[in-house]
Amino acid sequence: MKRIILSCLAASLCALWAMADDHVINFNQLPSAAQQLIETYFDKNDIRSVTADMHGSRTDYEVKFYDGSSIEFDTDGQWDEIDSKVTAINETLVPVAILETIKTRYGKDAKVKKIKIDRQEYEVDLDNGAELEFNSNFKLK
Nearest Cα residue to 25 out of 49, 54, 60: 49
pLDDT reported for residue 42: 94
What are the DSSP E strand ranges found in the chain?
21-24, 47-55, 58-65, 70-73, 79-83, 112-118, 121-126, 131-134
Domain of residue 122, residue span: 88-141
**Cα–Cα distance measured from residue 97 to residue 115, given in angstroms and rounded to the nearest whole number:** 14
**Cα–Cα distance measured from residue 116 to residue 127, given in angstroms and rounded to the nearest whole number:** 15
- pLDDT digit string (tens) for the chain, length 141 residues: 555 544 444 444 444 444 456 899 999 999 999 999 999 999 999 999 999 999 888 999 999 999 999 999 999 999 999 999 989 999 999 999 999 999 999 999 999 999 999 988 999 999 999 999 999 999 999
Q: 99 with 140, same domain?
A: yes
Q: List, in sequence order, the alpha helices (H) in 20-116.
A: 32-41, 96-106
CB hemisphere CA count around 113 (13 angstroms): 13
Q: 1 in a domain, yes or no? A: no
pTM over 0.75: yes
**Cα–Cα distance measured from residue 100 to residue 11, given in angstroms and rounded to the nearest whole number:** 52
Q: 58 in a domain, yes or no? A: yes
Q: 126 in a domain, yes or no? A: yes
pLDDT reported for residue 15: 46
Q: 106 in a domain, yes or no? A: yes
Nearest Cα residue to 115 out of 84, 141, 82: 82
**Cα–Cα distance measured from residue 113 to residue 107, given in angstroms and rounded to the nearest whole number:** 15
Q: 129 in a domain, yes or no? A: yes
